[in-house]
Amino acid sequence: MAPSRRISAGRSSSSSNRIGRSSPLSLRSTIIIVMITALFLGCAFLWKSYLNIAESLGGSVGGRSVVGDGGGGSSLVGWLPVLSNEQGENKEDEVTPLIRGVKIQQKQHHETAVATQQKIESVNEKATIQTTPPPPTTTTATNQNRLYCMVPFIWTPSALPAYEAIQSTWGKRCHVLRFFIDPIIGDDKVGFYNMTEASEAVRAREANLMLPNDVVILHDMKRPWHTCGEEENRNQNKPIGNCRNIWEKIWRAWVYVVTGKGGSQVGGGYSSIADVQTAEWFVKVDADTYLFPENLRRYVEYKKWSYEDHHYFGHVLNHRRSDRKVSIVAGAAVFFSRATLFAAAGAFEKMSMEKGDQEEDGTCRDAYTGTEEVVTAVCLKQFANVTADPALDANGREQISLYNVEDILTYNRTDMGEWWFWEGKTRYPCHDDGDCIAHLPLAFHGYKQPSFFLAFEKEFYGSVMKGEDDPSHYTQHAGIVAARKWDRFDVTYEYFERVRSAMRAADAAESGQPLVSSDVEKQSLEKEATNMAPQEVSIATSNNNRVYCMVPFIWTPAYLPSYHALRRTWGKRCDVLKFFIDPIIGDASTGYIDLRVNSTNANLPGDVVVIHDMRRPWNACVTESEENCRNIWEKLWRSWIWVDSNGDSDTAEWFVKVDADTYLFPEHLKRYVKRNKLAPTDHHYFGHVLRHHPVPLVAGTAVVFSRATLKAAVKIYRTFDDTSETSNRCHDEHTDQEEVITSICLKQHLGVDAHVTLDDQGQELISLGEIEDTLLWNRTEQGEWWYWENKPKLHPDTEKEMHQCCGVYPIAFHGYKDAQWLYKLEDELYGMDDIPDDENRWKNYEWRNAEVTHKYFDRVRAAMKVDS
């Protein structure tokens, strides 16, 4: 049966016949003919548009939002297909399904969407907003090796523990995590519910079958797992448990990821950009597989693979070569590059839909089968000439364990013989010595009980690795502590030790920090290093002390010059640069647009993140004074949650919040942490420290966090409840004193104090004012105002005055609200006469206190030259 083709909403492609002058007509007749023709075409166009809109609303919903997905970012509420009546006049529609307490959005008027888009385009035009993404500012490892994790799932009460276990363990390390479910949910106990029907969706909600935001309903499935088709002489579906039509589910899921068609992303909103643009690598993961997403990045770097080339890999089996002529990637974890996923989705859309109710036969077509791995391999071979590549380390060890690790570690090829598991595989020594699972594994398969996921999390990321006490741990007679009593304990625990050592070795190589605590561990690290290709080590080392620059920003025409100036000057020296904006954009001249209440693509650049869930955005107070809307604290803590929720907290070692009127020196920040031997794995919170509050704080000009501190702070921020007006405590609050609450939270919950950024002579490296002014600040002459309050006066070694401005390796200058000064500083310190700027007014700017300022710049340039 051929699939029905969906009609995309838009203009009719048909063209009307032109009215010529083939015969002489009177002017009146001509006008009448033209009017009748126009009326006819107009009606036809409106009818066509109506059908298109109805079809699109009843069908596919697009992928992720373009800007700021995850955490508090762009997570606009989606809708289920076939739900109607946006006014809620129908009694049934008034109780359309709630998903985690959020009402599913219903059909919206396209006229409203068009008007909103025109309004946004007006803002963009007046503000000269770039509509194309800027060039990437991050390294290949951080920006081009993101992983999209696709988990085929069944939404039943018995399956929910597995969902929660995946989310709370390995799933949080995927860049994107999605669960793809059949349109029919439930089981025999709670009943079956067809989620494509409004009344059924309501009943499902009443049965406590809520659907979270990371779930995609494949509503186009013809043969969902929970139904086995119509029985003969019966008009209803019979739910039974043996409907393993996994292949249809897999190919429809990948088509959705690439095109946005055939599914509804619950809570994901509507976007013209499908999920395929959110990552470079994609993996289909069974629900009983424990995945190591970070090791995927390491593996593709080790292989020097590009996501723009065809790669289809995992644990390769060869036992179907005889009848299907292909090697297959076992379904535990099937990896694709983006290029291969495009090819796969193209093949799936081209393949025949006939005989879809029959078992696969070795051709690329829809089929009623549970061997999706076979048809996937056949389709990739037939349409793209892509073949399976085994994921092995340098010693031939498998990156993916097809069965329980405890069992695979005992496999011996000589003793077992050439059964299908070994068939056709190149022979390696490890096949006979029991050490044939990679030490930086990609996945362990075969764990139906979610408790195993929690145990793995403890073994490789949690307290067992650190040796902490935990009553749930298993302690062997020899004093060895493990997360549980593993089968074949001695062999299994020894392998886990090798994995932990290898992971620490990889982390150490990437951070540049030595992590050797014993001779045994040192030998293990050295052994693992020999298994890493040279390019893997060099890439990891180059990522040492990467800097993530987070700029709180407001998207209005008045602020756009600063956006461009930051990107063209110091921002290009950040490893990652992102601007975090309020959900309301525009100003009085262009009009205000609230991105929280519509899902329109705002054409924002790729380095701009919208914090959609802000309750008190700065621009919301359009009728009040600016001071009443300076709720910077909420913006900051929600921004940091976004950074962690979207995987950005793993793209750098150091994170700095930078004011938009600050000129930053990212390379000097890297120099500072290196010279002071600061480790990103330890707690660090530093900058220009002020001591006029009970808890010393880092001034907001440039606030630096280690990765460990950022992740710990985010855990605190996620516990915030409703806003409170109480001051001087760690919570959400309507205030612009974000520095104060940040210091309180870190001190109260983590015991982390603010640390100063001083050079060897005790001089400040961050200027809170414009540099030409702060160079003249003098404690003796100015007296003890808040800037100097409680700061030590004399250096303990040199006995000279401390905290003067400024050292020759400055980290930041503050106070340049006119963006032209940023170009001036760039030219002054980096000698760029051809800085791209439309105005170039900076060339006529002069420094105040010119003599002192120029002498200081001379010292800075000299130091930078020596350091280079």
Whether 406 is covered by a domain: the verdict is: no
What does the pLDDT read at residue 694? Answer: 79
42 and 97 belong to one structural domain: no
Average pLDDT over residues 28-33: 60
Whether the Cβ atoms of residue 638 and residue 611 lie closer than 8 Å to each other: yes
712 and 617 belong to one structural domain: yes
More confidently predicted of 73 and 66 = 73
What does the pLDDT read at residue 88? Answer: 31
Q: What percent of the chain has pLDDT over 70?
A: 69
Helices (H), 611-675: 632-645, 666-675
Whether the Cβ atoms of residue 192 and residue 185 lie closer than 8 Å to each other: yes
Q: Give the pLDDT band of residue 188 (cuts 50, 70, 90).
A: confident
d(CA 203, CA 197): 10
Residue-wise pLDDT tens digits, 128-171: 333 233 332 323 334 579 999 999 999 888 899 999 999 999 99
What does the pLDDT read at residue 200? Answer: 76
What does the pLDDT read at residue 463? Answer: 58
What does the pLDDT read at residue 776? Answer: 84
What does the pLDDT read at residue 737? Answer: 79
Domain termination residue (choose one: 362, 390, 418): 390
Whether 408 is covered by a domain: the verdict is: no
pLDDT for 1 beyond 60: no
| Joined tokens for residue 391 | 């994921």
Whether the Cβ atoms of residue 240 and residue 103 lie closer than 8 Å to each other: no
For residue 37, what is the enclosing H or E element? helix 27-57
Q: Mean pLDDT lowest for which of 249-253, 646-650, 690-694, 858-862? A: 690-694
Average pLDDT over residues 437-450: 94
DSSP 8-class letter at 650: G
622 and 768 belong to one structural domain: yes
Q: What's the CATH number where 190 sits?
A: 3.90.550
Residue-wise pLDDT tens digits, 801-834: 777 888 999 999 999 999 999 999 999 999 865 6
**CA-based radius of gyration for the chain:** 30
38 and 154 belong to one structural domain: no
Helix, strand or coil, per DSSP, at residue 65: coil
Q: Give the pLDDT band of residue 721 (cuts 50, 70, 90).
A: low
CA 96 to chain centre: 30
Whether 422 is covered by a domain: the verdict is: no
716 and 834 belong to one structural domain: yes
d(CA 258, CA 60): 12
Q: Which residue has the tokens 């085994």?
A: 390
pLDDT for 522 beyond 50: no
What would the DSSP string read from start to end of 769-826? S-HHHHTT--HHHH-S-TTTTT---B-TTT-PBPS-B--SS--EEE---STHHHHHHH
Average pLDDT over residues 464-486: 68
Dihedral-angle region of residue 363 (phi above 0 means left; psi in -120 to 50 means alpha; beta otherwise): beta
What does the pLDDT read at residue 238? Answer: 36
Average pLDDT over residues 259-273: 65
Whether 265 is covered by a domain: the verdict is: yes
What does the pLDDT read at residue 328? Answer: 95
Whether 78 is covered by a domain: the verdict is: no
Whether the Cβ atoms of residue 809 and residue 863 lie closer than 8 Å to each other: yes
More confidently predicted of 80 and 248 = 248
Domain termination residue (choose one: 357, 390, 423): 390
Beta bridge partners of residue 444, listed in sequence order: 290, 401
What value, to the nearest 5°, has the Cα angle with vertex 5 and ends 3 and 7? 160
Mean pLDDT of all residues belonging to the chain: 76
What does the pLDDT read at residue 71? Answer: 38
| Joined tokens for residue 65 | 């939002």
What does the pLDDT read at residue 312? Answer: 97
pLDDT for 770 beyond 60: yes
pLDDT for 104 beyond 70: no
7 and 97 belong to one structural domain: no
What does the pLDDT read at residue 501? Answer: 87
More confidently predicted of 726 and 569 = 569
381 and 277 belong to one structural domain: yes
pTM (whole model) above 0.75: no
773 and 832 belong to one structural domain: yes
Whether the Cβ atoms of residue 439 and residue 498 lie closer than 8 Å to each other: yes
Show Cβ contacts of residue 154 under 8 Å, excluding neighbours closer than 6 positions: 181, 182, 185, 225, 226
Distances (CA, A) of 622 to 556, 600, 616: 13, 22, 12
Domain termination residue (choose one: 361, 390, 419): 390
d(CA 55, CA 49): 10
What does the pLDDT read at residue 260? Answer: 87
What does the pLDDT read at residue 456? Answer: 94
Whether 158 is covered by a domain: the verdict is: yes
What does the pLDDT read at residue 839? Answer: 66
Average pLDDT over residues 27-39: 62
47 and 98 belong to one structural domain: no
- Per the structure, the complete domain to which residue 575 belongs is given by 547-867
Residue-wise pLDDT tens digits, 364-393: 999 988 889 999 999 999 999 999 999 999
Average pLDDT over residues 211-236: 68
More confidently predicted of 539 and 3 = 3
More confidently predicted of 662 and 17 = 662
What does the pLDDT read at residue 193? Answer: 85
30 and 159 belong to one structural domain: no
Would the CA dihedral through 235, 239, 245, 251 be positive or negative? positive
Average pLDDT over residues 461-488: 70
Whether 144 is covered by a domain: the verdict is: yes
Residue 806: cis peptide before it, omega within 30 degrees of 0 = yes
d(CA 746, CA 751): 6
Residue-wise pLDDT tens digits, 600-659: 556 789 899 999 888 877 665 544 444 446 678 899 999 999 999 998 999 999 999 999
pLDDT for 279 beyond 90: yes
Would the CA dihedral through 91, 93, 99, 100 be positive or negative? negative
143 and 34 belong to one structural domain: no
What value, to the nearest 5°, has the Cα angle with vertex 699 and ends 697 and 705? 75
Whether 535 is covered by a domain: the verdict is: no
Q: Nearest CA to 198 among 82, 292, 310? A: 82
Residue-wise pLDDT tens digits, 313-341: 999 999 998 899 999 999 999 999 999 99
33 and 98 belong to one structural domain: no
Number of domains in the chain: 3
Q: Nearest CA to 179 among 210, 200, 151? A: 151
Q: Mean pLDDT lowest for which of 77-81, 291-295, 518-522, 777-781? A: 77-81
**Buried-state track 825-848, b at ≥16 Cβ within 10 A, e below 16:** bbbbbeeeeebebeeeebeeeebe
